Structure 1
Amino acid sequence: MLPETFLQISLLNFMRCILCDMPLFLSHHSICSQCVKNLPKFNKVCHQCCLPHSLSTDICYRCRAKKPYWDELIAVSEYINPLKKLIHHLKFYRKIELNTALARLMFLAWYQRREVDALIKPDLVTCVPLHHIRYWSRGFNQAELLAQPIARWLNRDFFPYLLSRKPTVQDQKNLSLTERIANVETLFMCHQDLSHKSVMLIDDIVTTGNTINAISQQLKKCGATSVHIVCLCRTVL
């Protein structure tokens, strides 16, 4: 057997799908095409909030009644396994090598929506900032790890510190829903003139949407023409 052939076969043993453990043809994908096809899919969701709805239009009645500050939200799946498990491994077990595989799923979800809705490429990419205490304890911002390769694939500038998070705000856990919404509205600040710029905002999980709405409001105040959210999972309330 030729040395080159032996090396290729040896490497193949280490190039396995992180979900099904089958050998991969392209190792940097980390998740095989069959597992990507088998990921839980949304049925009909609103293009703005990515929550299920039954109207014939793309926008649900909730977003029609109270339009959020962002313009479109794209998620790969609900916050369920297997992506829920992978997010936990990334955030809590420091498996930061998962970031490229998860970012690829997000990029594919955005690209599929782009094919349907003719979305334009953003002018810049940023991410939801992490509370400084969590950053110090965790050592990284998972949203930043996901955003880096997406910005590279889009060939767009990445601004990880476009936004800052104020440290002197009450803990959300101790507040009512109304107080949480008011609290988060003063939580973020944008530090750049975004006039005539479209922004892609990256996060790992969107739950209530209060955080990304407050951030989108700040981005629009700084001149952003549009804000598109791309996340890995959307919690269906």
Structure 2
Amino acid sequence: MAVRSIFRWPNQRCALCRLPLRDGDHYWCQHCVASLPRPPYCRRCGATTLEPVSHCGHCLRQPPPWDQLVRLGEYGFPLNRLVQQYKFQGKFWLSQPLAALLAEQMTEPAPLLLPVPLHPWRRFIRGFNQSALLAEALAELTGGDADHQTLRRIQRARPQHQLSRKARQQNLQQAFILNKRVWPDHVAIVDDVVTTGSTVSVLSQLLRKQHVARIDVYCLAFTPHYR
């Protein structure tokens, strides 16, 4: 998908390697962008595969509750460093260049984007919701709408990245509520990193109960794991 630029890195040097940017580069040089870990993957669940596929064997046996996952890459260097800077070091402005790279992977962007919500206390401590900023940037690039009010987190729990797969699933029981609204046929859940898929699964199930026809997941990074 062709997207328009909404930013320009003022220092004219790549934010990763610090070499001068060339015409057409934005924030990172093309060499660093090419070094992002972007192996082929299953467009249904997001798992890394030997070649791009619409459904992997696991999805044929046990499909996830969403319809398509679009990811920028695997959670490996240097993408993991960028996500950590964005999420934990307060570099909220990275939402725009990261969203631009992610939007290039989309063929049919959803008209409604729902960021994964943070509990109010965690948002207060961090100062921003990284998924909400990413959704806003994606919406501006694709002409969609980012809705911050429909999904709410009502249960404060341990951070997901500290938990095992089983503990993540238990951690999310009754953690979210979905406010009523008029739903389009196509909706996307936006998150920064998908690891086990527990969070987006819970949210997808809530949307299915509202009879949403198509649910996509948009994420910056996918963490490989053994099934």
TM-score by length of 1: 0.81
**How far did residue 227 of structure 1 move?**
0.9
My pick for the range that moved more, 22-31 or 99-108, is 22-31
Question: Do the aligned partners of residues 28 and 163 (structure 1) sit closer, same or farther apart at CA in structure 2, a change above 3 Å counting?
Answer: farther
Which residue number corresponds to residue 68 of structure 1? 64
Determine which structure has the larger helix proportion and give its number: 1
Amino-acid identity (%): 33
Computing the radius of gyration over CA atoms, which structure comes out larger, 1 or 2? 1
Question: Do the aligned partners of residues 234 and 13 (structure 1) sit closer, same or farther apart at CA in structure 2, a change above 3 Å counting?
Answer: closer
d(CA) in 2 for partners of 1:103, 1:222: 28
d(CA) in 1 for partners of 2:118, 2:90: 15
d(CA) in 1 for partners of 2:30, 2:161: 39
CA contact (8 A) 2:35 2:78 kept: no
Question: Do the aligned partners of residues 91 and 177 (structure 1) sit closer, same or farther apart at CA in structure 2, a change above 3 Å counting?
Answer: closer
**How far did residue 83 of structure 1 move?**
1.2
d(CA) in 1 for partners of 2:146, 2:224: 29
Given the alignment, which residue of 118, 131, 136 partners 1:148? 136
Question: Do the aligned partners of residues 195 and 150 (structure 1) sit closer, same or farther apart at CA in structure 2, a change above 3 Å counting?
Answer: closer
Aligned-partner SS, 1:75: strand
d(CA) in 1 for partners of 2:45, 2:205: 15
**How far did residue 195 of structure 1 move?**
3.9
Which residue number corresponds to residue 5 of structure 1? none
My pick for the range that moved more, 81-90 or 30-39, is 30-39
Matched, 1:125 2:121: no
Which residue number corresponds to residue 6 of structure 1? none
d(CA) in 2 for partners of 1:99, 1:55: 28
| 1:207-218 pair list within 5 angstroms | 207-218=195-206
Question: Do the aligned partners of residues 146 and 170 (structure 1) sit closer, same or farther apart at CA in structure 2, a change above 3 Å counting?
Answer: closer
What amino acid sits opposite 1:79 in the alignment? Y
Aligned-partner SS, 1:81: coil
What amino acid sits opposite 2:44 in the alignment? Q
Aligned-partner SS, 1:109: coil
**How far did residue 175 of structure 1 move?**
7.8
Which residue number corresponds to residue 5 of structure 2? none
CA contact (8 A) 1:200 1:228 kept: yes
Which residue number corresponds to residue 138 of structure 1? 126
My pick for the range that moved more, 122-131 or 24-33, is 24-33
**How far did residue 90 of structure 1 move?**
1.4
d(CA) in 1 for partners of 2:206, 2:99: 25
Which residue number corresponds to residue 117 of structure 1? none
Question: Do the aligned partners of residues 176 and 83 (structure 1) sit closer, same or farther apart at CA in structure 2, a change above 3 Å counting?
Answer: closer
Which residue number corresponds to residue 39 of structure 1? 36
Unaligned runs of 5+ in 1: 1-10, 115-119
**How far did residue 87 of structure 1 move?**
1.2
d(CA) in 1 for partners of 2:18, 2:211: 46
Aligned-partner SS, 2:11: coil
Unaligned runs of 5+ in 2: 1-7
Matched, 1:59 2:59: no
Kindly report the root-mean-square deviation, in angstroms, between the aligned alpha carbons of the 2 structures. Answer: 2.8
My pick for the range that moved more, 162-171 or 193-202, is 162-171
My pick for the range that moved more, 72-81 or 29-38, is 29-38
Matched, 1:204 2:204: no
**How far did residue 181 of structure 1 move?**
2.2
Question: Do the aligned partners of residues 56 and 126 (structure 1) sit closer, same or farther apart at CA in structure 2, a change above 3 Å counting?
Answer: closer
